Structure 1
Amino acid sequence: MSAVLAAMMKAIGQLGDRAVVAVLVKSVAVTLVLFAVAGAGLYAAIPLMAESEWFAALIPPVIGGPLLIAAMVLVALVAFWLLFRVVALMVLQFFADEVVAAVEARHYPALAERARPLPLAREVSLALRGLLRVLGYNLLALPLAVLLLFTAIGPGLVFLGVNAVLMGREFTDMAWVRHCGPGGERANPVPWGERVLLGAGVAGLMLVPLVNFLAPVIGAAAGTHLVLRRIAADGGAA
């Protein structure tokens, strides 16, 4: 746990670096644009959906007019809260190389010289695979979360656990792919427990308003520290 906490503190300390700030601005901007486009599409679709017979059949008669629109807006806000971490993580995948490189240059210059920058096609592939993993596992966890609705905190704990495992993997893989060789001959050297603790910490930060915009970058930088300290401990072999 001390290694994860130390990595996150180092990551927070580097948030002021120009390279990290640039990634933060780009990733937040792209994430907000994606949600703005989705929101505009939903806003345009609400009147059409409200007038359709199939949609009206799904809605109780007591809900209609302004109340229906308010309910749909509420659903959209909840969806935004739930999907933010998924979209933010996917967007960050496209800029992760810059975060990893910034951490390498400041804290691990010897390893930075041996890192292999990722081509765009590889970044796109990793982002899409990560997105599919996050969506897939969250959908698999959804039935269990529904069953635990009566506990109030059950669904939150289910999704926190699932995303802790997923994000811990994604944030450490972002750094590992630069050092593991073209074929990925070795497995990620960060122990499973450290990855889960990192993912849980970042998932917790994503629940805090405003801080949630910083959380993915903190996770990527902290994951880089966890990976590179393991490589350094092995004598730089990767």
Structure 2
Amino acid sequence: MSAPSRPTRPSPPSPPWHADLYGDALRTGRGPLFLRRTDGWLLPLEVERWCARADAADLTVLRRCAGPVLDIGCGPGRMVAALARRGSPALGIDTSPEAVARTRRRGVDALCRSVFDTLPGEGRWGSALLLDGNIGIGGDPGALLVRVAELLTPQGSLLVEAAQADVEERIEVRLDDGSGGRGPVFPWARLGAGALRELAAAQGWAVGAQWTVRDRSFLALHREA
């Protein structure tokens, strides 16, 4: 698919997922790796799960995908690979060169690009994925939902994973390997299912389904007519 012509616009700064800490974790396929909030609170990142094959919870998301699928923040590509095995056309995007390289080594397509950059097939994707906390990209979930609406067809769906906790926060974090290695500070956000439902409604999205598998919570969103 080729992108339609559109004016060039600046994109917000991307999180430093190209930093060595994240790239090193993906190269080895394991952590520990954390997001560290400025007050010292740590959120463990599930590197091993991301580098494995799609699991049972992931498959409940894939079954709800229709049309070509855009995996936003694809990481090492487990979802794009699983979609390919199901015969579904899919593309992963990620700002981490190592994530994109690892995705391509699975034999599937990925681009080293931010969701806010110009992308192939804008307005023609049937489904988009925001899993593994990626609703937090850029620290402004509202702006992210607006951008995803531009990428999907009018009937397209967004499959998004909410935080396990009942939380709504826009924060600054850095990558931390638990052994003294830390990356630069960048904006992030965390939304539990309730906060995500409220924000989605305010942005013109309707909730088609909500479900929980293995302590992971998901919502299927579509644009209201």
Q: What's the TM-score, normalizing by structure 2?
A: 0.26
Q: Which has the higher strand share?
A: 2
Structure number with greater CO (CA < 8 Å, separation at least 6) is 1
TM-score normalised according to structure 1 size: 0.25
Greater radius of gyration (CA): 1
Task: Name whichever structure is richer in helix by fraction.
Answer: 1
